[in-house]
Amino acid sequence: MENAEKQGKIKNIVLLILPKVQLLDVAGPCDVFTSANLFLPDDKAGLQYQVHLISGTSDKVIYSGSGIPLTCSRTIYDIDFPVDTLLVAGTDLRTLDEVNPDLYTYLQNTIGSVRRLGSVCAGAFILAKAGLLNGKQVTTHWKYADILQRTYPDLEVNINPFFIRDRGIYTSGGVSSGIDLALALLEEDWGRPLASEVAKHLVLHLKRAGVQSQFGNAISDYEMLSPFTKGIRDLLKDKLGQSISIEFMAESVHMSVRNFSRVFLRESGVTPGKFLEKMRLDQAKDMLEYTEMSIEMIAAKCGFGNVVSLRRLFFKYLSISPAQYRKSCKGTG
């Protein structure tokens, strides 16, 4: 990728925002890029970043999710400068239903002229609806990953990384992950030493340890589940330590196993077995975080049978062991 020095001009960074945006989605990347200007050597002064807040609507004043107004310099209708990097900030999912189709047209027309295009948090939904993520591996806030996958089945949604680059398009996870992405873009342009200086200046790790999925539940929030899926979750939540079969689940709703499996996959986006596995993982995480129960006892109470099975599942989803997860939550050995 062409770096900042070779291009020989100011880099215009666009943070595209919508109503109900989370402030950190915008402020985090903004502070990374503007802080980088402080550490550029004098002979590179003409290669600085210029950050622009651009409204995805016709209004220049956008009210954030916390109610604080953000004044944009321009809207998507009057940008009059070349864009180097464009990042779509996240917003409340309900706001997405109110997005003017002009925004998707703008992004589709822009993809060929920007050097880098990406998203922060739920901004991935905007890029997906614009058709710019088709066939790509992407990430978003762990809370919305299942919804993104069900809505756009052509995507490969992976909530473990804090950010992902796939064929020139970048997506990042929940809220603060926009900072991780911005630091990575900075490293691409100027190398690790300068990116490291910026991270230290902002009192951050250049490469954050762990994975995003450590911070969330494997199963979507209860209110985001379909009524059918909620019913199965309610049925299973007090039985996770027992042996549970798909036949048992199907019989509970008076359906054949085949029909139940088909309907459950359609309603939840995962198979019944995978859903059960994720419920057990979430319960184990809660017990590790909020109780002093031994890992062996937690494995038994969550239906894993033994610690080996529990460990395998933690490495599968979180890339760490149950003991490491407990330590990260409690800050103890």
The 10s digit of each residue's pLDDT in 156-206 is: 999 888 899 999 899 999 889 999 999 999 999 999 999 999 999 999 888
CB 299 within 8 A of CB 310: yes
CA angle 40, 44, 48 (to 5 degrees): 70
The residue annotated as part of the active site, out of 72, 121, 302, 329, is 121
Query: What mean pLDDT comes out for the span 285-294?
Result: 91
CB burial string 202-217: b at 16+ within 10 A, e below: eebebeeeebbbbbbb
**Placement of tokens 């036949």 in the chain:** 247
* Model-wide pTM > 0.75: no
Annotation says 121 is catalytic = yes
Predicted local confidence at residue 325, as pLDDT: 86
CB 226 within 8 A of CB 67: no
pLDDT in tens, 239-284: 999 999 999 999 999 999 999 999 999 998 889 999 999 999 999 9
CB 277 within 8 A of CB 292: no
pLDDT in tens, 5-26: 444 578 999 999 999 999 999 9
